[in-house]
Amino acid sequence: MDIISTLFLALVQGVTEFLPISSSAHLILGRWLLEGIGISTGSMTPAEELAFDIALHVGTLGAVMLYFRRDIATLFMGLIDGVTGKGGERFRLLLVVIVASIPIIIGAFLAKDFITESGRSIPIIAWTTLIFGILLWFADRRPQEKSAIESLSFRDALIIGGAQLISIIPGVSRSGICMTAGRFVGLDRPLSARVAMLLSIPTILGAGTLAGIDMVTSGDSQLTTDALIGGVFAFFFALAAIALLMKWLQRQSYTPFVVYRVVLGALLLGLLAFGLN
């Protein structure tokens, strides 16, 4: 893959990973756009494309861990509290995050073939972008009742974790569906985004570990180099996007993202109606 394609896809991933608009869908659309204007993205198999995409996700993982380093420290201390038998609020919060993460980790493993091949299609992306954008709009009309992360209950974790499972379908958006579920259970906008980003950590860690093993065992040095370059740039793009999103949600709603999703979904459906492959 040439450097232009690598940097473009890193930009797409970094900007869209933590916005409720689906980074996986935008990476697929990004490749389609590059090829449409005559820029080759290389002759990757669907599995290699997924491995590269996960490498970009790992770059964004570094950004979210840096931005939310205090929350990460709290969860780490919760682990220590649990191991030492101390328990307490930090340990309870760690358990809440674990409970919310289990469904997507199991689901992603079981649905690997669908994620790699069948699900990476423009028609699926078009419909999921439209439908889950509208769902986010309805959720964002709910009252904002909880603003502290300590207020999260195991019921909230089960609902958000169950909803997160749907994000194995490209176009749904893992961050978006977590924010949607969070708003449905009464989290305010900043907290819903914060929880969505924290839940990205175990998910991306698991996927990144498997992808790293696949790249090493494949012996494809070019894929590994592209992945490293893309991951570094995705880190910086994601860090900027997280800061801007969290600042936006302090005073504004998710409406611009809803509008974007509805317009993009409708546009893709229109292109499909005129013969887009």
Task: Give the whole-angstrom CA distance, residue 93 versus residue 101.
Answer: 13
Task: Give the whole-angstrom CA distance, residue 112 versus residue 119.
Answer: 10
pLDDT at 136: 97
Task: Give the whole-angstrom CA distance, residue 234 versus residue 7.
Answer: 8
Task: Give the whole-angstrom CA distance, residue 211 versus residue 204.
Answer: 10
Q: What percent of the chain has pLDDT over 90?
A: 56
- State the CB neighbour count (10 A cutoff) for residue 73: 11
Q: Of 57-61, 126-130, 158-162, which gets the smallest average pLDDT?
A: 57-61
Tokens of residue 104, six digits:
């997507």
CB neighbour list of residue 276: distance below 8 Å, 6 or more residues apart: 122, 268
Residue position matching structure tokens 């860690």: 205
Tokens of residue 57, six digits:
């996700």
Tokens of residue 217, six digits:
């065992």
Q: Is the model's pTM score more than 0.85?
A: yes
What does the pLDDT look like over 210-266, one tens digit per residue? 666 665 566 555 667 888 889 999 999 999 999 999 999 999 999 999 999 999 999
What does the pLDDT look like over 150-174, one tens digit per residue? 899 999 999 999 999 898 888 899 9
Q: What percent of the chain has pLDDT over 70?
A: 86
